[in-house]
Amino acid sequence: MADLFDNNLVSASRLLDEALAGYRKSGRWDAPALIAYVARADAACMRGDLDRSLALAQECQRICAGRGERWAASWAEWIVGLRWWVVGDRVKGAMHLRGCLRSKDDLNDFLGIPFCLEVLAWVAASDEDAHRTAVLFGAAEMMWKPIGAQLFGYEILLDWSQQSRARSREALGEAAYDAARHEGASLTQGEAVAMALGGKVTSTKPPAAAPVTAAATLLTKREREVATLVHQGRTNREIAAELVISRRTAEAHVENILTKFGFTSRAQIAGWVASQQQW
């Protein structure tokens, strides 16, 4: 597992094969033995050995079914869903990933739920549903924070994730993409799961970036004008010309907005403006 987390897939595969050979010989299927199946199937998928990945995951599922085991079985189901997405079958991929998500939700598996949301975001990107992709990414991002490493740091999975993010961002534009991510980040775990399973959920919480009332209480009238122009994609020079102020003053207004909301980029300002129903 240490080799797997360090992205040493060849070494990890060899060691996991040795472990599985021992487990098969002993017939003792405890939790580490079953997770060895999942880890080996995961390594196979990331190395492009997709048939072996599917065979290992399904073998794990058969052993789990005979013992009433659900946790390792749900991870095996995730591997199956991922494998179908990799080969381009989005329908089968989504079916298995949603089945996995239902199990993860039932078990309250806080590690497994964001894994499901991530790959379902990739499925949405493949379906060219850019908004849904960004919302799912936003929800997953909030769940990765306490874990500490998105997708456990697996380089190939991170690369696939980045490709889907880029596709969604290009389709929506920076501002709308950030707004959709903020929408996802504002969902509770239950709301995110319900949405990922096909529902349309409106968050009961305020947007993660800032509350709806923040414009009235935090920003001056001039800062609201500047934020609107940032949302429109204007540069500081263009903002200065539009409002008949100096470029340095425009820059100061942008910096003030960033500071007041705790933002670090103009894209976050644009996304926040896009997420507001009214000023």
Convert the pLDDT of each residue in 110-132 to its tens digit: 999 999 999 999 999 999 999 99
Stronger pLDDT, 268 or 214, i.e. the higher one:
268
The three-point CA angle 219-222-224 to 5° equals: 50
Q: How confident is the model at residue 207 (pLDDT cuts 50, 70, 90)?
A: very low
pLDDT of residue 42: 96
Identify the sign of the CA torsion 260, 262, 265, 266: negative
State yes or no: pLDDT of 15 exceeds 50: yes
Contact between 73 and 65 under an 8 Å Cβ cutoff? The reply is yes
Which residue in 117, 40, 119, 118 sits closest to 72, CA to CA?
40
pTM value > 0.95: no
Average pLDDT for 106-112: 92
Kindly report, residue by residue over 186-206, the tens digit of the pLDDT. 999 899 999 999 866 554 444
